[in-house]
Chains A and B, each alone.
Chain A
């Protein structure tokens, strides 16, 4: 009997080559990190059950689900607005899977697993905004897109969810969820856009 192994493979497995890319001789201005091993669940309120869904979210996560284009951080998950009466639950793999959440939202919302449907990319660095300005029509000025802001938008004709995480080392961090089958294509576009600033590439399971 053959031994079958089921190793997950990131859609960026081939395209992502860890290390420094683009312009050399300067401190890399952009850092691109693929975050692997996460659970992403789409939560959509059943008809007339938005309030119940909100209550269920509060019970499960201890925070209110976002009602505007923002992301709300809970202890071990982030709730990201994805439309009226719906949000994503993003968490480290294994904690808040669709199965794990099913009970909590049983009477209030429908759940769809999107963990494999998206790739999560974290963008930071001095030139993160300059590079994102080439890709996104969203105004990312600190006043216009503060920590916690989230946008369902498109980049290079590709649907993405862009949100601003907590600052790291005094610099803004942007997190991008992109459809998995578009990820490699968008990755190349991002590298093209970041190359002139110098870019550090890696992957991680740290949120």
Chain B
């Protein structure tokens, strides 16, 4: 199949002709070689047309040979791995690669939407804003979808990405961006000095422009110096060269973002490997040796396939041995562009002409022209004759006014070079204008970062080497590494001598931003309409807003704006630079955090036992909690939950409550400490007793609640709600360390140390007597309500037993060290078997707490006071505590506050839903008469109807009143009766019995 490579040179280049690779583009079979990119392989096969433009559907070819490519975007791969907007210029060729062109229908060659070109005069900047304004409602329904279909780039696969991504950290003294001569020299110096070095190179081969431009370094060919240097660096254990890795962002404290395309060069990643890896690199110093980007000149027809950046053209010829043209012309405004002519002649290609915008050409290049027998035309290109099959003829305006035509099948363009100022500008540094190269160079780089070589505006090979070496040595020295660095590699500097030329006026569309189809006239229009600021220009015309972020277009765009607005380029200024430097897949940012591993999860000690029982789990924060335990034949969750509630109320059940936050409060001042953080008093609590406590925030609003037990004179065991466990620990640590440092108190989270189970129901004691050592007195006298102490269990284990009840039943909580939690669940099943013990989940727990009128998360909503919750009497008047003063504010003690009250529908068959608003009966619902809302509801098996808790204005004074429940979200309206929130056993006889 290699015979199809009609545009491949028979020798040279960094491709391996012994490894042919087959691939398809738009379904057609081609072949290339190992070492090719998709772009170089297409060029080697004579393919010129690779895409259609965004707005006008103009035929487009390959413009560059790097990550700045605006045109050659393809859909790479198929099926779930289809990846839109992939640059052919950076996609490594692999055997079996499949790519498709984008934004065309039915085919690349015959694209229906290319009629847009005929209407081009109206598709100017701001066209959509101006045209599709009325009627406004048409925008979302009609205009926008239609525009999106016509314009746009590739299609996402729409299927979950089957590949894995991960993230990693790296640390170094000196981070280097780019492996061209400057970057390698920096790595050499820093590495020799003994610094830890990371060098990131987005290409798959290190070397940068050395791979394309060659040269002589230290008297040897660049290729030889390159392999010698790489070998020396490879021998340094603390120097790491990361290819396929693009440094894309700079963050605070010397942290950098990089994306490594680990396996993008393979059809799919090998098993257990990731496709891409996101690196966070922490570096003390950074040397930006990211090089420069050659810039186009804006002229009519400059987007014709076959028009290519001069440096890219010689890259294809020299590095890939692929010839974009057989007979090419060069349009340049500087000496560097001429190097493409040298490379082309060396490869045996014909030069049709050189169009040089300058008045003078160096003697060396002038003699090259006479030796090569091609004309040097002083002037500029005013138009290109050609189309989807490429360039045919080039129209030239000669200096002095005459015209000429050049027949060629390719046009290399060099408008000079722009240093890659992205990384140095990400902390709002504004690059500064440098006249001799007519380009912006870095200024105001983030702390610890310097630019070297071409990235710093010094394009000569010798300058790149010496600057890079000096920067690497300085960075190593700054980070405390003083090893001998030796002598900097040396080379000559090439001539550059540029005369700026940005835009050649002429007939036809002249493109500035290829990817977004922004033309020179769009910029002129923006200026006429008042969008002179570069930030306005960018947004109005979308210049530089495509996936390439205007790498080839921004400077030309603002140069044209400067010209039409009568300002200088530095006066016109640059837009703000923001990361990422290259597009980064969202998948890489997500890493492993997707699907079931979206976030870390916490499992209770009895989790796997509950799973064996068939429990349904619910996510509660990070926790997986057993929600209910369905049994065969139960038709829905309500049936299971109702059974569980009845089993507890009629017998005995248990529930894993290990998710509650648990804190050891130690020290002689532990009681005094708790007095200050709770509204009620704990210093008076007897050893062996538990008490319910309520905490306020500083502002007087309720923060959290839970029971706290006194296990010893200087040891309390505090529990929090599941939701606030971490926050309460933080709050208490803050109190301990900052508010009350004078108190001798120590806090330790023991949430994970204890497996804790609630055992509830009238037969609780029967069950416990089975499992607790017979010597322990569990009678009401021996272990009264709110008792708390350690007990021995049968079989030798010791446990903590707390006689507390959330369900309103006779209940205990038992806790054992967490590794015995699984055994505890199994043993509770054994011990309780004679009594029909039933494990219950969080739903039944919730039902029973609503029946009992206990408050929970929905009532502890961050807006309620202790009094709102019916707990005002707990607020001690004999001591100070956090939130006490602020809780006395007028609005927090107002008599018309919304307070917790019970509700039940007047129609016993009606289902309640939380969130419904409470409105006085007979009134039309509205914000003026909204008196509260329903916070918690459940079907109460005990009451045999739905019941709920609500926050209602003056609710406690209105017991017995019928009010209106209004639920506009679900379209429900019904009457409810306000009632005592304690539906079940209001005098508490059961839990005390």
Contact = CB atoms under 8 A, between A and B. Distances in A.
Contacts of A156: 592, 600
B753 A113 contact: yes
Contact of B830 (A2, A11, A47, A158): A2
B820 A4 contact: no
Best-surrounded residue of A11, A144, A181, A193 (most CB of chain B within 10 A):
A181
Interface string B661-674: 00010111100000
A4 to B, nearest CB: 4
Contacts of A116: 752-754, 817-820
Given A116-B817, A116-B818, A5 B795 contact: yes
A115 B280 contact: no
Interface string A157-177: 110000000000000000000
Contacts, number: 168
B608 A196 contact: no
A47 B750 CA distance: 21
A136 B169 CA distance: 7
A6 B169 contact: no
Contact of B272 (A1, A3, A186, A195): A195
Given A117-B750, A184-B603, A141 B272 contact: no
Q: Give chain A's interface secondary structure class.
A: loop
Contacts of A205: none
Contacts of B821: 9
Interface in A107-145: 109-118, 130, 133-134, 136-139, 141, 144
A3 B827 CA distance: 9
A137 B169 contact: yes
Contacts of B608: 13-14
B255 to A, nearest CB: 9
Given A117-B752, A133-B170, A141-B171, A188 B597 contact: yes
Interface stretch (B140-148, B699-707, B741-749): B741-749
Contacts of B602: 179, 181-182, 185
B599 A157 contact: yes
Nearest to A21: B272
Interface in B956-972: none
A7 interface: yes
A141 B750 contact: no
Nearest to B668: A46
Nearest to A188: B597
Contacts of A101: none
Contacts of A110: 664, 666-667, 714-715, 746, 748
Contacts of B622: 182
A180 interface: yes
B271 A6 contact: no
A111 B714 CA distance: 11
A10 B271 CA distance: 30
B780 interface: no
Contact of B600 (A1, A6, A157): A157
Given A6-B797, A185-B602, A42 B823 contact: no
A9 B609 CA distance: 11
A51 interface: no
Given A3-B795, A141-B171, A141-B196, A186 B600 contact: yes
A35 interface: no
Interface residues of B, number: 65
Nearest to B669: A47
Given A2-B831, A134-B166, A141-B196, A117 B597 contact: no
Given A46-B744, A110-B746, A157-B599, A118 B823 contact: no
Interface string A1-36: 111111111110110000000110000000000000
Contacts of B744: 46-48
Contact of B823 (A2, A5, A46): A5
Contact of A46 (B196, B746, B749, B819): B746
Given A42-B748, A116-B753, A137-B169, A47 B272 contact: no
Nearest to A36: B819
A18 to B, nearest CB: 17
Contacts of A48: 744
Interface in B270-324: 270-274, 280, 282
B78 interface: no
Contacts of B166: 134, 192-193
A179 B280 CA distance: 25
B272 A22 contact: yes
Interface string A86-113: 0000000000000000000000011111
B831 A185 contact: no
B822 interface: yes
A6 B823 contact: yes
Contact of A11 (B597, B603, B749): B603
Contacts of A158: 600
B604 A181 contact: yes
A188 B164 CA distance: 14
Contact of B831 (A4, A13, A109, A193): A4
B771 interface: yes
B823 A192 contact: no
A182 B600 contact: yes
A14 to B, nearest CB: 5
A8 B820 contact: yes
Given A10-B819, A47-B744, A181-B603, A112 B666 contact: yes
A112 B272 contact: no
Contacts of A45: 746
Interface string B585-615: 0000000100001011111110010000000
Nearest to A193: B166
Contacts of B231: none
Contacts of B751: 117, 179, 181
A54 to B, nearest CB: 16
Interface centre among B196, B666, B743, B753 (most CB of A within 10 A): B753
Contacts of B273: 23, 196
Contact of B818 (A11, A139, A185): A11
B967 to A, nearest CB: 37
Nearest to B770: A2
Nearest to B670: A110
A118 B752 contact: yes
Interface in A181-202: 181-182, 184-186, 188-189, 192-193, 195-196
A152 B164 CA distance: 29
B819 A4 contact: no
Contacts of A8: 817, 819-820, 823
A47 B667 contact: yes
Contact of B795 (A6, A179, A185): A6
B251 to A, nearest CB: 13
B167 interface: yes
Interface in B787-835: 793-797, 816-823, 827, 830-831
A23 B750 contact: no
Task: Please provide the 7 A-B residue pairs with the shortest distance between their CB atoms, ordered closest to farther.
Answer: A110-B666, A47-B744, A112-B748, A8-B819, A117-B752, A117-B753, A139-B171
Interface of B: 164, 166-171, 196, 238, 270-274, 280, 282, 592, 597, 599-605, 608, 622-623, 658, 664, 666-669, 714-715, 743-746, 748-754, 770-771, 793-797, 816-823, 827, 830-831
Interface of A: 1-11, 13-14, 22-23, 42, 44-48, 109-118, 130, 133-134, 136-139, 141, 144, 156-158, 179-182, 184-186, 188-189, 192-193, 195-196
26 contacts: A1-B770, A4-B795, A11-B818, A11-B819, A45-B746, A46-B744, A110-B746, A112-B664, A115-B753, A116-B819, A117-B751, A134-B167, A139-B169, A139-B171, A144-B171, A158-B600, A179-B751, A180-B819, A181-B602, A181-B603, A185-B601, A185-B602, A192-B597, A193-B166, A193-B592, A196-B273
Given A1-B794, A13-B822, A141-B196, 14 more contacts: A5-B827, A8-B823, A9-B821, A44-B746, A47-B744, A110-B746, A112-B753, A114-B750, A115-B753, A116-B817, A117-B750, A139-B282, A158-B600, A195-B272
